[in-house]
Amino acid sequence: SSCDIGMIGLAVMGENVALNMADHGFKVAVYNRTVQVAKDFVARNPSTPGGLVCCETLKDFVRALKKPRKAVILVKAGPPVDMVVKQLIEAGVEPDDIVVDLGNSLWTDTIRREQEYAKQCKFFGSGVSGGEVGARFGPSLMPGGDPASWQHLEPIWRAIAAKVDPATGKPIEGASPGKPVEGGVPCTAYIGPNGAGHYVKMVHNGIEYIDMQLICEAYTLLDGLLGMSKDEMSRVFSEWNSGDLDSYLIQITADILQQKDPVQKDKPFVDFVLDTAGQKGTGKWTSSNALDMGIPANAIAEAVFARCLSALKDERVEASKHLSGPTPTPVADRQGTITAIRDALYCSKICAYAQGFQLMAAAQAEYKWTLDFGTIASIWRGGCIIRARFLQKITEAYTRNPGLTNLLLDPYFNDQIKQGQANWRKVVSIAAQNGVWAPAFMSALSYYDGYRAAHLPANLLQAQRDYFGAHTYERTDQPRGKFFHLDWPHPSRPQLDIKGTG
């Protein structure tokens, strides 16, 4: 028993996290269901600073770990996680040992598993973001579970996490195999008990969906309204990347747009990528949880539906032959339009993040977690896919006011939208007039206009419900919580509804 930690599941994420740990001097036991995969992995990486120990059985794996044992599982989310935990228990894992699920698990599964296995081990859930490269050289890690278990994991999590420069808030780049970055603030912090880490990871992914969709809409508008070439667009995104929109996703977009296709020489690579998006489900989970909790995360859901619509490629091709729309007319004011699209993107992005944080606030109330929103934003500054300069502003907003009800109400964000909204509205209306698809820009704007409305037409809606279903309504001239019904065939006076009032 000499290993500091163990990794089960050696697909690319598992391998890279194991190598990341070994680079930081931790001795890592590795196990994979298909044993040859583990053997090959260790053979390919014979001399890491910490060392990798190939375990052919789970019994060997359990025996290889120092107590309290720390076993990380990185297998396909769902039933495989339970299979592996049960096998680990059979192989000798004890009640004080910590079994970490680092996969993209549904947070309710994590809550269930912690309880289900409580007598046999400390089950702990940690979100990880950053893709393959993040896993290898520094991901953002969102740990949730028993605080005492976190004490044991923390040194390892802090070591392997991405690091940001405390002065600039920007990720420290430049790690290479065997040479991790030194110093910096690690992009990990204890999120909360049981499923809190996986929940926050899920919301991160929901935000990632909308962040990507907004960029795609900007791209399609630059094309549809300005007829820009991919190289020109690449320069626009590079320029945006030096301002408020500075982020990993904008940067890779600039990079992608200047990429030439290796087969169809000298033509843009993106032009040969089929326009049908895939998805693995975390955006859908975020959106259906928003529906379950009654939180209007409409822009996040819009991004999921946008992927669904893109996937209906054959139907769209057919419909394009029958359904009419306006022919986009080129816009004359080129620079003004570019700036307007940038502003629309930034304002929409603020709304999208406001929705994500509203979701976490609602989940916190539902599960009695105490989430630190400023810290959550800060650990997303590096390592993860949504890393961005913008996150520093969110941390500052929650530092100014930890009880902030909505990001939109923070003075900085409020001011940013004040400055950008005329352009945002212009872009949405030009898109509508020209028949350019921009669902997330539009959805975000309608969230903004709905959220800032002291009065919505739901008075008529309640009247309709009372009319056809006697669903009752509250009155503006009576205290809240008193429910009335109008006897519609004989509307002489409103009746106080006893059932509704109770």
Q: Which spans of this chain sit near ligand 2AM (rule: CB under 6 A)?
A: 9-11, 14, 32-34, 37, 75-76, 80, 83-84
Give the Cβ contact number of residue 466 at 10 Å: 20
The reply to whether 451 sits in an annotated binding site is no
**Spatial distance between the Cα atoms of 157 and 151, rounded to a whole number of angstroms:** 10
> Considering 27, 70, 201, 284, which one is annotated as catalytic?
201
**Shortest Cβ 309–ligand 2AM spacing (Å):** 29
- Write the DSSP string, 435-497: T---HHHHHHHHHHHHHT-S--THHHHHHHHHHHH---B--TTS-TT--EE--TTS-SSPEEP
Whether the CA torsion 112, 114, 115, 120 is positive or negative: it is positive
CA distance 49 to 24: 7
Tokens of 145: 């579970």
Q: Rounded to the nearest 5 degrees, what angle is found at the Cα of 149, between the Cα atoms of 144 and 153? A: 85
| Residue 393 assigned ligand-binding role | no
Structure tokens at 196: 């809190």
Tell me if 75 is assigned to a ligand binding site: yes
- Which of 263, 140, 111, 138 minimizes the C-alpha distance to 205? 140
Least distance in Å: CB of 305 to ligand 2AM? 28
Are residues 38 and 153 in contact, defined by beta-carbon separation less than 8 angstroms?
no
Angle between helices 411-434 and 439-451 (to 10 degrees): 130
Nearer to ligand 2AM, 86 or 179 (CB): 86
Closest CA relative to residue 283, chosen from 363, 359, 360, 202: 202
208 has catalytic annotation = yes
Closer by beta carbon to ligand 2AM, 75 or else 304 = 75
Name the active-site residue from 15, 114, 208, 217. Answer: 208
Q: Judge whether 201 counts as a catalytic residue.
A: yes
- In whole angstroms, the minimum distance from the beta carbon of 39 to ligand 2AM comes to 12
**Complex with ligand 2AM: residue 10 or 153, whichever CB lies closer:** 10
Is 502 labeled as ligand-binding?
no
Any binding-site annotation on 233? no
CB closer to ligand 2AM out of 84 and 347: 84
CB of 12 to ligand 2AM, least distance (A): 9
Q: Least distance (Å) from ligand 2AM to the CB of residue 103? A: 9
Instruction: Report whether 104 belongs to an annotated binding site.
Output: yes
Q: Which residues are catalytic?
A: 201, 208
Residues comprising the binding site?
Answer: 9-14, 32-34, 75-77, 104, 129-131, 204-205, 209, 280, 307, 465, 471
Residues comprising the binding site for NADP(+)?
Answer: 9-14, 32-34, 75-77, 104
Residues comprising the binding site for substrate?
Answer: 104, 129-131, 204-205, 209, 280, 307, 465, 471
